[in-house]
Amino acid sequence: MQIGRARQVVTADEIFDLVREDLNCVENAIRVESAASVPAVTTPISKYLEQDGEKRLRAALLLLCSRFAGGGNKRMAIQLGAVVEMLHAATLVHDEMIDGAQTRYAWPSDHIHRANRTCVLAGDWLYIRAFRVALQERVLDVVLGAAQTMVAAGLMQRDRIGRIGITESDCVELAERKTACLFSICGKLGAVAGGVDPRDGGKLGEFAWNLGMAVQLIDDVLEFSRDLEDGKVTLPLVYALEQASVSERDVVAAVLRDRGSDVVPLASVVALVDRYGGIPRTRERARRFADSARQIGAEFPNSVCRRALLTLTELVTERDG
Amino acid sequence: MQIGRARQVVTADEIFDLVREDLNCVENAIRVESAASVPAVTTPISKYLEQDGEKRLRAALLLLCSRFAGGGNKRMAIQLGAVVEMLHAATLVHDEMIDGAQTRYAWPSDHIHRANRTCVLAGDWLYIRAFRVALQERVLDVVLGAAQTMVAAGLMQRDRIGRIGITESDCVELAERKTACLFSICGKLGAVAGGVDPRDGGKLGEFAWNLGMAVQLIDDVLEFSRDLEDGKVTLPLVYALEQASVSERDVVAAVLRDRGSDVVPLASVVALVDRYGGIPRTRERARRFADSARQIGAEFPNSVCRRALLTLTELVTERDG
């Protein structure tokens, strides 16, 4: 919270400047890998990749870690940057399936169904291309492990939908599987591409893991209302429920049970979370993970890349959209 | 058509007897691989694998090819049998997404949506487990290639939905990517596990490719009405359209355009295909692929496995369900 907006913007630019050229190469690699010889295949996939307006945070982290670790194999770092972004995009695409209630447009239901079916195959395509590049770079074992963890997290999350008895440690476990795991891989793969012995890449992996935890918890803050609409109980609500009365818990249970029916308005749950400070407490938890990342990073030898990595830990907890 | 039903049943049993014990091991391997340490993950996946009532045709083919090629590495053949079946199941699961119109039950739309989302993740899980086993067995490059071809086929098929200008060679290309490609891999991987030099496994791959083409075209016959409802133009209709009048083509175009609306009944298209013999002509085309497989198999040295492989080519074209 010490960081003013002006300084934040400058710093973010500085960070991305360090790896901008390599990030452009990652972008090209993604375009090459996701394209297919059949136009019927290429068109829907490129649409999904372009829709992903994120700033390639995972690739940027991997590239920074690789430079920090010596910058040995730049070509490999770029290829692996494409791998982690395609993997991330694949999970988003498979998670993005829409239903009639969610879309803002008056799409006929068969239109929605067709869009979803194409989503599924486009996601498959991205997974498979990511795996092929990872196989060429001899890191597929690690990448398949991360993919498996993320898919398991998705199933776990689906299984918990509408349930009220979720604990803080459930949320932390989910954040770890859903997000921190891939961040950790970015740190480790960056170290490998940079030329560091994999055993010494452990610290970069730990740093990146904590950064990923902070990113996910801030996501839980920013996506709180949408998650609630989907019946997902995330940390802000878990913290509020810890202090809620029995009758307040009953209201939440009713909202989760009857979601979409508008019998009990979502607004009452949002008010409850406000009342018991669920949002600031979640931000505070995220900040503790960012602090842990910073402590690990503080032991790294000083360099422009170290400063960039440390600044990343501040940026992720301060972002508000 | 020379084969009587009684002989057919006995022969199918004989074939499966040859590999029954190994098929049971494949079944166990699938169970082990598809299970997860998290119950929330295991339950939905095992449900999808059990729903797949097929006879593990691809694993049986791989096991037969492996025995035929010397039966060298039985453990590897069993693991690879699990790989091809999990891969096949993953493509089916991702293809199985339902919409409100298709289900026979009066499911509320959010129930359908939830079922579909779980389908997607269960399919991802099966893909990833299949890839991990293939990586251990050092055949992942080949397996990823097949997976990519099948996903591209799915996208190609979606792109063609509702279009009338599909040709025979379009259908053959799709059958090749959708089905024959994986069959061919079963032949080649069977040869490798059996102990044959990969270059000499080419003939088994060719044999299996032709068998797969026959299987897909017979599927096109058996699934003709369902495909038509989905707006898919398959070989029986393509053959009928080659002989149809302009006004008959207009009727088909209207059915494809307005499918589901019942303005033009599907029955009129089924009658058209009947009138121009689209079904027997497709069966005849399938039989020619089976004949090609048989000619390749006839050059193999005589053995009980060769006889089983040759009988497979007869069984697949005669099946009617």
- pLDDT band per the 50, 70, 90 thresholds, residue B53: very low
Residue length, chain A? 321
CB-based contact A156 B40, cutoff 8 Å: yes
Question: Each residue's pLDDT tens digit in chain A (321 positions)?
Answer: 333 444 444 467 777 788 889 999 999 999 888 887 667 677 777 777 765 445 789 999 999 999 999 998 999 999 999 999 999 999 988 887 765 455 445 556 666 777 778 889 989 999 999 999 999 999 999 999 999 999 999 989 988 988 989 999 999 999 999 999 999 999 999 999 999 876 667 899 999 999 999 999 999 999 998 899 888 999 999 999 999 999 999 999 988 887 766 666 888 899 999 999 999 999 999 999 999 999 999 999 888 889 899 999 988 888 776
What is chain B's mean pLDDT, rounded? 86
Q: Shortest CB distance from A40 goes to which of B124, B128, B159?
A: B159
Higher pLDDT, B264 or B286: B286
Residue A260: DSSP 8-state: T
Q: What is the DSSP letter of B4?
A: -
Using alpha carbons only, what angle is made at residue B186 by residues B283 and B307, rounded to the nearest 5 degrees? 65
Listed residue (B228, B116, B110) closest to B166, CA to CA: B228
Q: How high is the ipTM of this complex? A: 0.89
Contact check, Cβ <8 Å, A40/B156: yes
User: Could you tell me if residue A71 is left (phi over 0), alpha (psi between -120 and 50 degrees) or otherwise beta?
Assistant: left
Asked whether the beta carbons of residue B38 and residue A122 sit closer than 8 angstroms, the reply is: no
Asked if A71 contacts A194 with a C-beta cutoff of 8 angstroms, the reply is yes
A85–chain B nearest CA distance, Å? 17
**Mean pLDDT to the nearest integer, B50-70:** 83
If you count them, how many residues does chain B have?
321
Contact B110 A99 (CB under 8 A): yes
CB pair distance less than 8 Å for A125 and B148: yes
Alpha-helical (H) ranges within B35-108 are 39-51, 57-68, 74-95
A262 in B contact zone (CB under 8 Å): no
Instruction: List pLDDT tens digits, range B209-219.
Output: 999 999 999 99
Residue B93 has pLDDT above 90, yes or no: no
Residues 6+ apart with CB under 8 A from A305: A18, A64, A67, A68
* Burial class of residue A13 in the structure, from the number of CB atoms within 10 Å of its CB (0-12 exposed, 13-18 middle, 19+ buried): exposed
pTM of the model: 0.90
**Residue B164 and residue B168: Cα distance in Å, rounded?**
12
Query: How close, in Å, is residue B148 to chain A by CA atoms?
Result: 6
User: Would an 8 Å CB–CB cutoff place B231 in contact with chain A?
Assistant: no
H or E stretch covering A136: helix A109-136
Out of A113, A121, A160, the one facing B94 most closely (by C-beta) is A121
Residue partners of A154: CB distance under 8 A and separation at least 6:
A91, A94, A95, A178, B121, B124
CA distances B186 to B79, B141, B194, B208, Å, are 12, 14, 12, 7
| Tokens standing for residue B25 | 């091991």
